Amino acid sequence: MKYVDIGNKVKVRGSIKIIGRGKITIKDGTVINSSPYANPVGGKQQTVFYVINNASLIIGENSGLSNSTICCSNSIIIGDNVKIGGGCEIYDTDFHSLDYLKRRKILDDSIKSSPIKIGNDVFIGANSLILKGVEIGDCSIIGAGSVITKSVPKNEIWAGNPARFIRKIN
């Protein structure tokens, strides 16, 4: 059973596609852009929340997402005042096994998943990809087009594919 809890003054520009049976919590003051007219940086992509099974997606207060895709099979927590640029993708799952024989099965029970936590006041540049098991510390910045495969400490800038440390903030 799908459960969506939306806080006060949440603004959605366009339409969001919600798939799955997990729990979604969107806290007060969040803005979600989901059309090329709401934020042209995200292109034609619509915002999609794919929250399966008993997974949980929490988006903190006064955060903003633009034309992004979030796939959650475990847990994704996005802090307060987070800005997620157009075309970003956040996946807490591998979707498929690394073992080709297991990938052949309709129900692959060996898929790996690990929670994602994005701290407060984080900025994620357009078209970035955040992968399973990552934690991004408070006030950090992810450069546009980055692939985040490991955790980022607070107050740091990371960018690239795979992302690497660029410099400290302050």
By annotation, the residues acting in catalysis are 96
The dihedral built from the CA positions of residue 99, 93, 87 and 17, taken in this order, carries a sign that is: positive
Q: Which residues of 36-46 are buried (b: 16+ CB within 10 A; e: fewer)?
A: bebbebbeebb
CA–CA dist 39, 152 (Å, integer): 27
